[in-house]
């Protein structure tokens, strides 16, 4: 295969084949070797789908190389297929000439039938044009661990490490970090440590020594050009969890995370539960509504209340979010978006809850909305969300999605010294004879944030609630004029958030021109790559990526006005397009993808090029990214 800048690898098999573990360990080894990477985990909806079925295929895809790598890649150039179903599902995705590594032991008549192959695809010619490496992975795994006293089932389970050993040889990676991982992972069972180590080493030795019809050639990837610093590989939900804990530290408050399990948001719960030493508490509530309400109660009591879900659960929390707006209580609401409507596609990614976040409440109930662009960006957004919630005393919604939650990339570790402390609005001192009851309603003239007066504070007892209150005293009020003032105050409060946040910048390209491609959230990676590729070949196009979706950055209108045309790719039916049209009156070109999969860079390149028919393409620095194997 020779030296190349980047490569896309896909590992696919049954849910129980250990594909995700194998993928994540392959990535860990690549990170140590200096590659940039982005991963994509494609899970079936079933926990353990029937063995060998196409709908039960679990896949792990990684794009790695010199970078900047910002997507998990379009077309895999290497596929490891543990069974016929994995081949069936993955083959249409592959690049021309891709290398397919097949576990021949699973290519039985029964498995072929289950996968919907009438005949063995190795014999029909449908794999012509690919390079096929047939290996008896299952059998060789059993041989590698034959001396050990294992059941056949346990022995067979080591095949993911056998295959990993083979891959590590192909990519010239060190075994040492993976050996260390195995020793730790199975430390409670010495036999499994031995078995998995034996499988790993056997697969590695096999690749080096075997005489094969199509010997696996080594891939030499150029090292990525990282900025100096400390790195680790991390998924979006891992970084988001650490970002929330960091916000707790910066505000010097406890963080109470109140949630109810839902795919794909639960991983955040799983990460946060491991951060107790950072003053993080977890409350698994009886339902989504209780989770939101308990988070509100926690914030009312002086902790940072956070709740999290996916679209259907957020719908249930809606009334509670309105209460937090009315009572002016800080709250962070995280939505890991998935395909909808209703239960929809729980394990597939989508960005279709933007309307819900911005508009989805009864009455005029504005809420700030932020969206991280990448796993690393989750750290910044988590801190920013808490800062906004505490400054303005408001709920804040963070929109992430199934892809961002599970995707891993190298994370340049932040330096906590770079972050300013998060200020909590302190009540003013009570002067003699003053009315303690109304102190909690004396709002800051710029941010409209009220003092965070918590129960337990002497002299400042007051009542909060969902009924409209007098703008000055906080007492119940049905007065018509007062409601107008309060509604205006709530609108001004959310609008004022933009005053405190950074202006919108261009992610790539000049800040004006023929075409601006405008995105938000997890589409950052594919849009960035597509625009980069087109710019490399001389196309006049820029990429603008919006993190603050409500309110928009103050300069966004003037920035977007500098482009002749705006193309808005989104994993929904055109929600940001609607917002931009409504807010600024610009005509835009929507590009909508709701396949449950991230955008393919190649598709974006075509769509962008179609918006630039007149432009010449004088390639100045062509970047050959997709040379076939």
In the complex, the smallest distance separating the C-beta of residue 76 from another protein, rounded to whole angstroms, is 25
In the complex, the smallest distance separating the C-beta of residue 458 from another protein, rounded to whole angstroms, is 5
Of residues 479 and 617, the one with the C-beta less far from another protein: 479
User: What's the CA gap between 411 and 255, in Å, rounded?
Assistant: 23
Of residues 13 and 233, the one with the C-beta less far from another protein: 233
User: What's the CA gap between 572 and 587, in Å, rounded?
Assistant: 18
- Under DSSP, the state recorded for 441 is G
Name residues whose C-beta falls within 8 Å of residue 78's C-beta, 6 or more positions apart in sequence: 7, 8, 9, 10, 98, 99, 101, 170, 219, 629
* 539-598: contacts with another protein (CB under 8 A): none
Q: How many residues does the chain have?
A: 629
* Residue of the chain from 32, 355, 359, 586 that contacts another protein (CB under 8 A): 32
* Residue of the chain from 462, 535, 600, 625 that contacts another protein (CB under 8 A): 462
Short-list 138, 117, 121, 139, CA closest to 130: 121
Of residues 243 and 569, the one with the C-beta less far from another protein: 243
User: What's the CA gap between 44 and 38, in Å, rounded?
Assistant: 20
User: What's the CA gap between 32 and 427, in Å, rounded?
Assistant: 50
* 165-194: contacts with another protein (CB under 8 A): none
If one asks whether residue 489 binds another protein (CB under 8 A), the answer comes out as: no
Kindly state the tokens that stand for 156: 């067979």
* Residue of the chain from 22, 57, 245, 373 that contacts another protein (CB under 8 A): 245
Among 50-58, 193-201, 243-251, 356-364, which window interacts with another protein (CB under 8 A)? 243-251
Cis peptide before 68 (omega within 30 of 0): yes
User: What's the CA gap between 95 and 247, in Å, rounded?
Assistant: 43
Of residues 76 and 474, the one with the C-beta less far from another protein: 474
Classify 64 as helix, strand or coil: strand
If one asks whether residue 463 binds another protein (CB under 8 A), the answer comes out as: yes
In the complex, the smallest distance separating the C-beta of residue 9 from another protein, rounded to whole angstroms, is 20
Short-list 66, 53, 64, 70, CA closest to 17: 53
Of residues 220 and 252, the one with the C-beta less far from another protein: 252
Question: Tokens 């990448």 belong to which residue?
Answer: 374
* Residue of the chain from 229, 445, 613, 624 that contacts another protein (CB under 8 A): 229
Of residues 299 and 447, the one with the C-beta less far from another protein: 299
Of residues 209 and 230, the one with the C-beta less far from another protein: 230
Of residues 327 and 354, the one with the C-beta less far from another protein: 327
Of residues 84 and 313, the one with the C-beta less far from another protein: 313
* Residue of the chain from 97, 129, 466, 619 that contacts another protein (CB under 8 A): 466
| Cα-based torsion angle of the residue sequence 205, 206, 212, 214 in order, rounded to the nearest 10 degrees | -80
8 A C-beta contact, residue 526 and residue 571: no
In the complex, the smallest distance separating the C-beta of residue 242 from another protein, rounded to whole angstroms, is 6
Kindly state the tokens that stand for 226: 């990282």
Kindly state the tokens that stand for 611: 């918006």
10 Å Cβ neighbour count for 213? Answer: 7
Tell me the site size for another protein, rule CB under 8 A: 71
Classify 60 as helix, strand or coil: strand
In the complex, the smallest distance separating the C-beta of residue 289 from another protein, rounded to whole angstroms, is 6
* 429-458: contacts with another protein (CB under 8 A): 437, 454-458
If one asks whether residue 248 binds another protein (CB under 8 A), the answer comes out as: yes
* Residue of the chain from 228, 341, 585, 613 that contacts another protein (CB under 8 A): 228
* 201-220: contacts with another protein (CB under 8 A): none
* 282-341: contacts with another protein (CB under 8 A): 283, 285-287, 289-291, 293-303, 305, 319-320, 322-323, 327
Q: Hey, what long-range contacts does 119-126 have (CB within 8 A, 24 or more apart)?
A: 121/84, 121/87, 121/91, 126/91
Among 198-206, 245-253, 347-355, 584-592, which window interacts with another protein (CB under 8 A)? 245-253
* 363-422: contacts with another protein (CB under 8 A): 413-416
User: What's the CA gap between 218 and 215, in Å, rounded?
Assistant: 9
* 251-290: contacts with another protein (CB under 8 A): 254, 256, 258, 275-279, 281, 283, 285-287, 289-290
* 50-89: contacts with another protein (CB under 8 A): none
8 A C-beta contact, residue 351 and residue 523: yes
């Amino acid at each position: 295969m020779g030296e190349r800048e980047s490569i896309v690898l896909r590992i696919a098999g049954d849910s129980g084949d250990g594909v995700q573990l194998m993928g994540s360990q392959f990535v860990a080894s690549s990170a140590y070797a200096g590659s940039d990477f982005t991963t994509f985990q494609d899970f079936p909806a079933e926990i353990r789908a029937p063995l060998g079925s196409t709908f039960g295929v679990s896949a792990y895809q990684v794009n790695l190389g010199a970078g900047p790598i910002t997507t998990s890649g379009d077309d895999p150039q290497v596929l490891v297929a543990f069974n016929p179903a994995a081949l069936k599902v993955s083959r249409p995705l592959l690049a021309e000439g891709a290398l397919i590594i097949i576990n021949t032991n699973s290519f039985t008549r029964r498995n072929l039938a289950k996968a919907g192959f009438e005949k063995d695809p190795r014999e029909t010619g449908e794999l012509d044009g690919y390079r096929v490496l047939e290996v008896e992975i299952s059998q060789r795994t059993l041989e590698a661990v034959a001396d050990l006293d294992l059941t056949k089932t346990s022995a067979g389970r080591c095949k993911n490490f056998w295959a990993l050993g083979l891959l590590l040889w192909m990519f010239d990676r060190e075994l040492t970090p993976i050996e260390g991982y195995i020793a730790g992972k199975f430390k409670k069972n010495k036999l499994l440590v031995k078995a998995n180590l034996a499988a790993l080493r056997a697969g590695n030795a096999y690749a080096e020594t075997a005489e094969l019809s199509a010997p696996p050639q080594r891939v030499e990837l150029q090292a990525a050009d990282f900025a100096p610093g400390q790195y680790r590989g991390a998924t979006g939900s891992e970084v988001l969890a650490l970002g929330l804990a960091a916000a707790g530290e910066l505000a010097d408050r406890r963080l109470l995370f109140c949630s109810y399990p839902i795919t794909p948001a639960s991983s955040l719960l799983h990460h946060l539960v491991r951060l107790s030493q950072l003053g993080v508490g977890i409350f698994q509530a009886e339902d989504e509504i209780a989770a939101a309400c308990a988070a509100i109660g926690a914030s009312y009591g002086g902790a940072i209340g956070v709740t999290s879900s996916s679209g259907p659960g957020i719908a249930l929390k809606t009334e509670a979010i309105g209460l937090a707006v009315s009572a002016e209580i800080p709250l962070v609401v995280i939505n890991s978006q998935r395909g909808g409507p209703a239960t929809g596609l729980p394990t597939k990614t989508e960005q279709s809850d933007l309307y819900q976040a911005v508009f989805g409440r009864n009455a005029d109930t504005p809420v700030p909305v932020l969206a991280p662009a990448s796993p690393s960006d989750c750290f910044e957004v988590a801190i920013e969300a808490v800062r906004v919630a505490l400054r303005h005393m408001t709920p804040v919604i963070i929109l992430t999605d199934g892809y961002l939650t599970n995707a891993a990339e190298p994370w340049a570790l932040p330096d906590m010294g770079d972050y300013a402390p998060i200020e909590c609005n302190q009540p003013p001192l009570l002067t003699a004879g003053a009315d303690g009851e109304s102190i909690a309603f004396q709002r800051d003239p710029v941010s409209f944030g009220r003092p965070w007066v918590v129960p337990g504070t002497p002299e400042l007892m007051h009542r909060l609630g969902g009924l409209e209150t007098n703008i000055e005293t906080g007492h119940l009020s049905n007065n018509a004029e007062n409601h107008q003032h309060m509604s205006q105050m709530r609108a001004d409060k959310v609008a004022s958030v933009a005053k405190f946040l950074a202006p919108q910048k261009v992610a790539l390209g000049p800040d004006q021109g023929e075409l601006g491609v405008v995105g938000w959230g997890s589409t950052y990676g594919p849009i960035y790559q597509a625009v980069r590729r087109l710019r490399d070949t001389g196309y006049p196009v820029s990429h603008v990526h919006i993190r603050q979706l409500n309110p928009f950055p103050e300069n966004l209108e003037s920035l977007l006005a500098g482009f002749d045309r705006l193309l808005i790719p989104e994993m929904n039916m055109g929600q940001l397009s609607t917002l931009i049209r409504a807010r600024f009156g610009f005509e835009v070109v929507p590009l909508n993808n709701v396949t449950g999969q991230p955008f393919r860079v190649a598709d974006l390149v075509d769509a962008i090029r179609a918006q630039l028919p007149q432009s010449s393409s004088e390639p100045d620095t062509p970047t050959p990214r997709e040379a076939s194997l």
